[in-house]
A = this chain, B = another copy of it.
């Protein structure tokens, strides 16, 4: 039986090498007064910024530029919103990594409000955003968070009372997502690795989520099929290969669509709590926990007996996929589950994903982390001891 599900809208997607150029024809359809949100230096170093700004000038498009450094905090959103609120913007365009795409999304949403974004963050403020926003176009330059297709923007304040929480509304899904793999070619191996594992984690967690539907299953599976072929290549010999970058970009895009509709699991539960307490890149938390958390989930599903079978079968389908098999024989479910864990462990090693200890996280921090961690839509129920084991094994 297909369980009941709902599926929110997705952005209008424009995908393909060189597709950035369509941005210049799309912008005038929204108006002539736009805000471009970009990152630190990489877009400028690659020469792309000069190209973009000169074309916009040639087309007499009136634009302001805002540079976002690091993962967005409430101040990083509130300050530019205060500055641009009365400028009658027609459109916000975010061009950059996950932080930039999230920041642009949050800015376009907060431009219609008078107070701080903190008041609208889940579990932080007590207001609910109504979805009113300035139109927003997302142009990712990394393949990771999938923010180009999600309805939320993640905002962090790091410290002992820190948080990493979402501004969320169905209407915050970007109006248009332009996915141009050419923009990802210059992304360095360490970032490609962390982002790629973030995307794969999102696809996997959505696929095994109890909230999964046939739509998210079909999409997550196709995303894992392509990213699993390209993830190691994107961080090594295939970094300049447009096919490799396309497959990773596709995985990221799809991971955003599937997480928005099927939710995520314990890895993202931990990424939220750890990311609020420590300065650690989001993709690294996901990547470092991926194999360990998957191992724990599989163990707990195995302990459940028949009840755990559907969850195990889905993990096995991914394990089979990773060795190029699409049929998952019932008598090989455990074998394919082991294959999944082995492959994820191999990726973590080959992609040189740091352990948590590298970012100052110690054994004595774990209880505080667990206290702030939600299970989200994890494939199986885990107790505090289970979660502690996952973190301990990656310290």
Inter-chain CA distance A10–B11, complex, in Å, is: 9
A5 engages B10 (CB within 8 Å): no
- Whether A63 is near chain B, meaning CB under 8 Å from some CB there, is no
- Whether A217 is near chain B, meaning CB under 8 Å from some CB there, is yes
Inter-chain CA distance A222–B246, complex, in Å, is: 23
Interface string of A1-25 (1 = CB under 8 A from B): 1111111111111111111000000
Interface string of A183-213 (1 = CB under 8 A from B): 0000000000000000000000000000001
B217 engages A222 (CB within 8 Å): yes
Chain B residues closer than 8 Å to A17, beta-carbon distance: 4
Tell which of B16, B214, B215, B242 touches A5, judged by Cβ atoms closer than 8 Å.
B16
Tell which of B16, B170, B222 touches A215, judged by Cβ atoms closer than 8 Å.
B222
Interface string of A255-280 (1 = CB under 8 A from B): 00000000000000000000000000
Tell which of B3, B10, B14, B250 touches A9, judged by Cβ atoms closer than 8 Å.
B10
- Whether A243 is near chain B, meaning CB under 8 Å from some CB there, is yes
Chain B residues closer than 8 Å to A226, beta-carbon distance: 2, 214
Nearest CB in chain B to that of A15: its residue: B5
Inter-chain CA distance A5–B14, complex, in Å, is: 6
- Whether A218 is near chain B, meaning CB under 8 Å from some CB there, is yes
Tell which of B2, B12, B242 touches A15, judged by Cβ atoms closer than 8 Å.
B2
Tell which of B1, B12, B221, B325 touches A218, judged by Cβ atoms closer than 8 Å.
B221
Inter-chain CA distance A218–B9, complex, in Å, is: 17
- Whether A327 is near chain B, meaning CB under 8 Å from some CB there, is yes
**A250 in contact with B2 given A10-B7, A10-B9 (CB within 8 Å):** yes
Inter-chain CA distance A226–B4, complex, in Å, is: 15
Chain B residues closer than 8 Å to A14, beta-carbon distance: 6
Chain B residues closer than 8 Å to A219, beta-carbon distance: 215, 218-219
18 contacts between A and B (CB under 8 A): A2-B15, A2-B16, A2-B226, A2-B243, A2-B247, A3-B16, A4-B15, A4-B16, A4-B19, A5-B13, A6-B12, A7-B13, A7-B15, A9-B12, A12-B170, A13-B215, A326-B326, A327-B327
Besides A3-B16, A6-B15, A219-B219, 4 new A-B residue pairs in contact (Cβ under 8 A), listed by A number: A1-B246, A2-B15, A5-B15, A9-B12
Residues of A within 8 A of B (CB): 1-19, 170, 213-215, 217-219, 221-222, 226, 242-243, 246-247, 250, 254, 325-327
